[in-house]
Structure 1
Amino acid sequence: MPVSPTYRHVSDDPNTHADNLMGWSQLYDQLSGGGFSGEISGVCFNSIHLFRESTNLSLRQSCVVRSNGWWFGLPVSERESFRLDTRRVEEGAVAIRRGHQPFELITPARFRIFGLVISHRTLAEHLRSVLPEEDGLARLRCEILQGSAAQSSLRHLFGEILEEINRRPEVLNSAGACRAMQNSVLEAVTNLCASVEQAKGMPRSEMQHSQIVRNVRLFLLDNNDRAISVPELCTIFHVSRRTLQYAFDRVLGIGPNAYLRILRLNGVRRDLCRRETKVSVQQAASDWGFWHLSQFAKDYRTLFDELPSATVKRSESVAPQ
């Protein structure tokens, strides 16, 4: 049973970190200030990709699993929570999303998460064999499964597998051991599907606020060539300034003006780190609507704990992979 080598990537840049996750297309926006630190480690079997991701700062992550599979996400610590699109993933819950379907995560500072991607065919065949009287995949369409006991078992198994592989990488040379680990994961996921309930839906008002924030973000990314104001957003999305303020405060914990600035600063950073099309700091800042360069440099340093010129130098010093 061929297995790709295990991997481990450590990064001090959120964009590089987002690119380090195998089989995903991701875009990370740093929401809290400071120097970034992230680590991803994992292993890929024939039809299963298991990994652990750690980040030290609050992030908004735009994600797509590129394969035709299913993603399961749960915090390494049962006391941690995060947000999947418009819904909060509370303690004891597991987030789920089908491959090729874009989704967003909002994760807090000092966050660790286990991720599991299983091929659709493998999961469907296994669920049919153990749950012949029902459509097991139908349980996954709710996107969040609630069940503390099943989630705890899944978390414990993921931790044991990754720890043992890290301690004894030669275990992957055994086809029998690899098959047993994969079967254990499938069995644990099946138990989760069979024993837990769908998480309760969000209140209508909270769902509307989350949708406002998501729509604004997508609009801003599509119109990054010009500065956009809060009054303009209110007009475009037909909401009052008070509603927009409350939506951002509730979903992100920051106001829309602060978020506009953070999103644009992240855009500048991505442009400065892009090796194929180099731009000057002044040009990148102007492209994202920053006209006061000294204030821009101050805000950039506050968020990323370095000046934009340092970002350019560090990007240039990293050899293309």
Structure 2
Amino acid sequence: MTVRKFREFEAYAAAVGDADLQMMLPRLKRPRWELSAFYVNQLHLQFGVEGGGVIAEGTALSTGRFLYVPLSGLHHANGIPLGTHSIFVIDPGCEFTISVLEEHRWCSIYIPSDVSNDGVIEGEPDDTAPKGARVVELGTHEIGALRRLLLRLRYADEDWPNGANADAARSLRAELDAVCRRISISTADEAPGAATGRPLLVRSELARIVRDRIECGGDEGVTIEELAVATDVSQRTLRSLFLEYFGVPPRRYLLIRRLNQVRSVLRTSEPDETTVTSVAAQFGFWHLGRFAGTYSELFGETPSATLHQARRRQPAQCI
């Protein structure tokens, strides 16, 4: 199995598949990102190692179900903390938010809609089935079996599906199929109550309104007051919502978002045609010294270094 090692968070984020994703770096511990991916029957597995936090907002592909399994670190999924027995199940076409503010590891399993529980290609998927994104709590034996299985798959020989261990490979396939079958028909436990006292459905709708309003806010972004008006909630409730969904308060989230946008522009600009000052101003950063310090703290390099490395940037390293 090939493990791809990335020098930059953005290259890593672009390589993560099976969903339409926007990923932001909210906190950096060390610049280390790894990703490996492979198929078991028609199931697509990804293993990620991240040397910092992440805020991932996206939509699952309409062609299959997405299972997210935290392997280390404190993960939140749609505002719900994922414990040691939790997995996150995302049905086709559903929106989701995953946030982690520390170094962490994860695994995802993508199950195409045209694959049955027995791994056999079926007809058209059932569009009438209820859809959503939910946290499922597994029993101690079940989550233990799943983690052991994923560990065996993660460190199996690269040629395990076709090589000398073909019998072992078939056994792993059968185990994974059985686990996915049990998980797919599981129902979520009652979700923990929100700090705001609002039902989960309402919180999800508030998060969607927040995202839409921020997208419409232009480069300089929106204010906390504008978000409170758009969602028709108090700033205190808004703060609780942000802490649940993104792990950070509103002002920090908006700052992180703008810093990531600045970095995206700097990485793709020509140093002879662009200045750090002009890009910073474009996103509402007027105090250049303060901006540069905050940027360096988050990304581990100065904005000038990001800009001038654009020409020398190499493809992601693979081993």
The code of the aligned residue for 1:271 comes to V
Matches of residues 103-122 of structure 1 in structure 2 within 5 Å?
103-122=96-115
Q: Provide closer, same or farther for how the CA distance between residues 161 and 35 of structure 1 changes in structure 2, counting only shifts above 3 A.
A: closer
Whether the aligned pair in 1 keeps the contact of 2:80 and 2:192 (CA below 8 Å) is yes
Indicate whether 1:268 and 2:256 are aligned.
no
The code of the aligned residue for 1:40 comes to L
Q: Separation in 2 of the partners of 1:104 and 1:249? A: 12
Q: TM-score normalized by structure 2?
A: 0.81
Which residue among 191, 206, 213 is the counterpart of 1:201?
191
**Does the residue aligned with 2:67 lie in a helix, a strand or coil?**
strand
Task: Please say which of residues 206-215 and 253-262 is displaced more in the overlay.
Answer: 206-215
Indicate whether 1:31 and 2:26 are aligned.
yes
Which residue among 71, 87, 91 is the counterpart of 1:98?
91
Whether the aligned pair in 1 keeps the contact of 2:74 and 2:102 (CA below 8 Å) is no
Partner residue, 1:159: 151
Indicate whether 1:190 and 2:181 are aligned.
yes
Whether the aligned pair in 2 keeps the contact of 1:51 and 1:114 (CA below 8 Å) is yes
Once the two structures are superposed, residues 166-223 of structure 1 have per-residue CA deviations (whole angstroms, 9 ceiling, x without a partner) of: xx223233476654433321112224456x5522123252645565455324422332
Whether the aligned pair in 2 keeps the contact of 1:67 and 1:100 (CA below 8 Å) is yes
Q: Provide closer, same or farther for how the CA distance between residues 269 and 253 of structure 1 changes in structure 2, counting only shifts above 3 A.
A: same
Task: Please say which of residues 310-319 and 67-76 is displaced more in the overlay.
Answer: 310-319
Task: Please say which of residues 224-233 and 274-283 is displaced more in the overlay.
Answer: 274-283
Whether the aligned pair in 1 keeps the contact of 2:79 and 2:244 (CA below 8 Å) is no
Partner residue, 1:281: 276
Whether the aligned pair in 2 keeps the contact of 1:23 and 1:67 (CA below 8 Å) is no
Task: Please say which of residues 266-275 and 295-304 is displaced more in the overlay.
Answer: 266-275
The code of the aligned residue for 1:185 comes to L
Indicate whether 1:243 and 2:237 are aligned.
yes
Q: CA deviation at 1:33?
A: 4.4
Whether the aligned pair in 1 keeps the contact of 2:28 and 2:51 (CA below 8 Å) is no
Whether the aligned pair in 2 keeps the contact of 1:75 and 1:112 (CA below 8 Å) is yes
Matches of residues 173-184 of structure 1 in structure 2 within 5 Å?
173-174=162-163, 178-184=169-175
The code of the aligned residue for 1:188 comes to V
Partner residue, 2:161: 172
Whether the aligned pair in 2 keeps the contact of 1:71 and 1:97 (CA below 8 Å) is yes
Task: Please say which of residues 52-61 and 268-277 is displaced more in the overlay.
Answer: 268-277
Whether the aligned pair in 2 keeps the contact of 1:96 and 1:140 (CA below 8 Å) is no
Partner residue, 2:70: 75
Q: Provide closer, same or farther for how the CA distance between residues 160 and 276 of structure 1 changes in structure 2, counting only shifts above 3 A.
A: farther
Q: Separation in 2 of the partners of 1:248 and 1:295? A: 24
Q: CA RMSD in A?
A: 3.3
Q: Separation in 2 of the partners of 1:199 and 1:279? A: 52
Q: Provide closer, same or farther for how the CA distance between residues 214 and 15 of structure 1 changes in structure 2, counting only shifts above 3 A.
A: farther
The code of the aligned residue for 1:304 comes to F
Q: CA deviation at 1:153?
A: 1.0
Partner residue, 1:254: 248
Q: CA deviation at 1:81?
A: 3.9
Q: CA deviation at 1:126?
A: 4.9
The code of the aligned residue for 2:191 comes to G
Larger relative CO (CA 8 A, sep 6+): 1 or 2? 2
Q: CA deviation at 1:12?
A: 3.2
Q: Separation in 1 of the partners of 2:290 and 2:101? A: 27
Q: Separation in 2 of the partners of 1:140 and 1:181? A: 29
Identity of aligned residues (%): 21
Matched pairs, number? 304
Partner residue, 1:132: none
Q: TM-score normalized by structure 1?
A: 0.80
Task: Please say which of residues 183-192 and 197-206 is displaced more in the overlay.
Answer: 197-206
Indicate whether 1:19 and 2:14 are aligned.
yes
Q: Separation in 2 of the partners of 1:64 and 1:234? A: 25
Q: Separation in 2 of the partners of 1:193 and 1:98? A: 10
Partner residue, 1:311: 306
Once the two structures are superposed, residues 72-119 of structure 1 have per-residue CA deviations (whole angstroms, 9 ceiling, x without a partner) of: 111224xx4422223332220111112333321112312111111121
| Structure 2 gap segments, 5+ residues each | none
Task: Please say which of residues 204-213 and 100-109 is displaced more in the overlay.
Answer: 204-213
Q: CA deviation at 1:30?
A: 1.5
Whether the aligned pair in 1 keeps the contact of 2:76 and 2:244 (CA below 8 Å) is no
Indicate whether 1:219 and 2:213 are aligned.
yes
The code of the aligned residue for 1:310 comes to A
